[in-house]
């Protein structure tokens, strides 16, 4: 309609929107052609590349450029669209897959486009995400046939094929590239192709030849080290990375790789802490690194929240997943107040009995001077602090999640809670808001998420105050030394995170964590201690923890979370060497 009325700008907006939703639909391209035919200059002025250009306009302009005989420019724009949204089939159109397209393009230009695609997708690309990228692989096939002796094009084609799972094709192209134009880059591409094919020895040989082309390129040393490490040859890998560090102790790729490999070899936390320090002190690395996240991945408290245990959690889970709603519940020993409160919320009026209390009384905080979060009436735990504000509840609902990349990343994410009042953050520990409607989480898991992130939020409270006498330290220590609750775990996690991001507080935090863990071990020698296992993992995540406490924590972490009832008082401490 807009086209018939001569409103070409309006028509162009509609075409750009349509091509965004259906980039290969013939009717959309037919309308684009009609618009180009009527508008002056082939319609290019209707799709300008402004500062905040719409992706549909970029793609439409790419097709118009190709139709105007400027296919190279059009291909570059399609590659840019793919870089922005790699899972959309922007290039699945006839002109990109035409066998004669490379005849009209310079091989260098094609190679750059293919490298641009490689830089915007993971290595390898997940199988489900590969179809939209296959037009570029067909382009590579036609281009390597047309420009058979072009080393850069062959290498870039190999890199793309390797990412798309075409390992044998990638190896063939890489070998052709090395024969056509021997170079450092060609050998690197060949090394990667060999590595994907599982031929580690050939991969190392190719990368060594690449290093011989340019001994000062320390990134190749990191590549060799990574390849050796993947083959299980950690000592050889570290030897190569040490050579790189000897040349330049601050070269980011070498530093990241060195800490990751050393952690893989001995599992010492200090390597990860040193890597976090390096990342903080060198924010302008040559490119993004994921070594710290890779090492922390799926490790308790380093990158994920541990699940809660106990009879209460199991009872709630069975009710939700199997419909087994209890009519009464008998507990052998007390469970954390957060769990007991959750039980009342899920099953109002459920009769609950506790067989034995044990000593010391778990309803009493471990230090009498701390602020109370709970009030007890028998075994009924009620919040002792006010409800948080609506703003605080909404803010935590948007943020709380059970996983993070690593402790410094969790700290950075929690900065959005910096403007909340500390009373709101305390209130969140015992008055969690309901989870987002779209979130599928169990009640216990959600509550623990809220508590962990609320305590991380406390780290951002009044950061101008010196740590030793700060409000944030005092509040977290109060929660940590309160009754044995999930909130105490969250508070210790926040203290541990503070030590990761600020070397100046490490000695203090290590001392606090060691004292809190030793107290938990002492209690476990007398009765059940439900948060002992989690505190052990928190201790193992603490920078600069003393060796004796670390050894004790490793022994606890390797055991069941529940201490058998027949243990005699003091036996646990003797077993762990804490006399």
Q: What is the per-residue pLDDT across 256-300, written as a single tens digit (0 to 9) for each?
A: 999 999 999 999 999 999 999 999 999 887 778 999 999 999 999
Give the CA diameter of the chain: 92
Of 409 and 563, the structure prediction assigns the larger pLDDT to: 409
The token pair that represents 506 in the structure block: 């490490």
Residue 572 predicted with pLDDT over 80? no
> Mean per-residue pLDDT for 224-246?
94
In this prediction, residue 35 has a pLDDT band, given cuts at 50, 70 and 90, of very high
Residue 346 has pLDDT above 60, yes or no: yes
pLDDT of residue 438: 65
pTM for the whole thing? 0.84
C-alpha angle 365-366-369 in degrees, rounded to nearest 5: 70
Is it the case that residue 579 has pLDDT exceeding 70? no
In order, the DSSP letters of 196-244 are HTT-HHHHHHHHHHHHHH-TT-HHHHHHHHHHHHHTT-HHHHHHHHHHH
- Of the candidate ranges 123-132, 375-384, 458-467, 560-569, the one whose mean pLDDT is the lowest: 560-569
pLDDT at 124: 95
Q: What are phi and psi of 353, to 5 degrees?
A: -125, 150
Q: How far, in Å, CA of 417 to CA of 376, rounded?
A: 30
Q: Provide the pLDDT confidence category of residue 575 given band limits of 50, 70 and 90.
A: very low
Q: What is the mean pLDDT of residues 433-442?
A: 80
Residue 194 in this model has a pLDDT that exceeds 70: yes
pLDDT band at 439 (very low <50, low <70, confident <90, very high): low
Domain boundaries, the chain: 297-579
Closest among 358, 339, 349, 460 to 399, alpha carbons compared: 460
> What pLDDT sits at residue 334?
85
Radius of gyration of the chain (CA): 30
Backbone φ and ψ of 375, nearest 5°: -115, 135
Residue 371: phi, psi to the nearest 5? -75, 135
Query: Comparing C-alpha atoms, which of 241, 244, 245, 188 is closest to residue 213?
Result: 188
Mean pLDDT over 366-393 rounds to 92
Average pLDDT of the chain is 92
Q: What is the pLDDT of residue 207?
A: 96
Token reading at 144: 């390597």
Tokens of residue 570, six digits: 């003091």
pLDDT of residue 565: 35
- C-alpha–C-alpha distance, residues 366 and 481, integer Å: 5
Confidence class of residue 2 from pLDDT cuts 50, 70 and 90? confident
Q: Choose among 79, 74, 168, 70: nearest CA to 115.
A: 79
Q: What percent of the chain has pLDDT over 90?
A: 83
Pairwise CA distance, residues 145 & 163, whole Å: 20
- pLDDT mean over 199-221: 95
Q: What tens digit of pLDDT does each residue of 164-183 get? A: 999 999 999 999 999 999 99
């Amino acid at each position: 309609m807009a086209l018939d009325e001569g409103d070409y700008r309006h028509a162009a907006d509609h075409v750009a929107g349509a091509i965004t939703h259906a980039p290969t639909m013939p009717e959309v391209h037919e309308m684009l052609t009609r618009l180009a035919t009527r508008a002056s200059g082939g319609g290019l002025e209707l799709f300008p590349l402004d500062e905040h250009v719409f992706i549909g306009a970029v793609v439409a302009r790419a097709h118009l450029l190709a139709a105007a005989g400027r296919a190279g420019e059009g291909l570059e724009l399609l590659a840019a669209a793919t870089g922005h949204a790699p899972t959309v089939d922007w290039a699945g159109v006839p002109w990109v897959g035409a066998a004669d397209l490379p005849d009209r393009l310079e091989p260098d230009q094609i190679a750059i486009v293919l490298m641009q695609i490689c830089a915007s997708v993971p290595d390898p690309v997940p199988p489900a995400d590969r179809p939209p990228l296959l037009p570029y692989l067909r382009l590579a096939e036609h281009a390597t046939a047309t420009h058979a002796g072009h080393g850069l094009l062959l290498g870039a084609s190999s890199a793309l094929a390797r990412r798309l799972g075409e390992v044998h094709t990638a190896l063939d192209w890489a070998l052709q590239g090395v024969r056509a134009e021997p170079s450092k880059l060609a050998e690197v591409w060949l090394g990667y192709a060999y590595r994907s094919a599982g031929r580690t020895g050939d991969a190392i040989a190719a990368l060594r030849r690449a290093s011989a082309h340019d001994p000062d390129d320390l990134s190749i040393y990191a590549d060799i080290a990574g390849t050796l490490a993947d083959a299980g040859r950690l000592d050889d890998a570290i030897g190569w990375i040490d050579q790189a560090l000897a040349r330049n102790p601050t070269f980011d790729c070498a530093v990241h790789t060195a800490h990751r490999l050393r952690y893989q070899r001995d599992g010492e936390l200090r390597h990860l802490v040193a890597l976090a320090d390096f990342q903080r002190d060198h924010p302008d690395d040559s490119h993004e690194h994921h070594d710290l996240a890779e090492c922390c991945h799926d490790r308790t408290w380093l990158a994920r929240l541990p699940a809660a245990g106990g009879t209460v959690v199991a009872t709630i889970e069975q009710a939700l997943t199997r419909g087994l709603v209890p009519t009464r519940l008998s507990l052998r020993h007390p469970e954390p107040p957060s769990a007991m409160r959750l039980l009342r919320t899920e099953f109002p009026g459920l009769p609950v009995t506790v067989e034995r209390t044990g000593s010391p009384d778990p309803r009493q905080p471990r230090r009498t001077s701390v602020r109370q979060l709970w009030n007890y009436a028998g075994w009924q735990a009620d919040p002792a602090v006010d409800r948080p504000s609506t703003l605080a509840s909404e803010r935590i609902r948007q943020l709380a999640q059970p996983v993070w990349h690593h402790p410094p990343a969790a700290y950075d994410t929690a900065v959005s809670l910096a403007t909340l009042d500390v009373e709101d953050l305390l209130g969140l520990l015992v008055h969690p808001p309901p989870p987002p409607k779209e979130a599928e989480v169990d009640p216990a898991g959600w509550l623990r998420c809220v508590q962990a992130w609320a305590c991380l939020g406390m780290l951002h409270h009044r950061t101008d105050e010196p740590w030793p006498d700060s409000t944030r330290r005092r509040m977290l220590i109060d929660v940590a030394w309160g009754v044995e609750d999930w909130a105490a775990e969250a508070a210790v996690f926040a203290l541990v995170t503070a030590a990761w991001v600020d070397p100046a507080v490490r000695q203090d935090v290590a001392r606090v964590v060691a004292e809190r863990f030793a107290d938990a071990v002492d209690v476990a020698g007398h009765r059940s201690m439900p948060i002992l296992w989690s505190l052990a993992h928190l201790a193992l995540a603490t920078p600069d923890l003393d060796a004796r406490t670390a050894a004790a924590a490793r022994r606890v972490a390797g055991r069941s979370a529940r201490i058998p009832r027949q243990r005699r008082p003091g036996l646990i401490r003797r077993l762990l060497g804490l006399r």
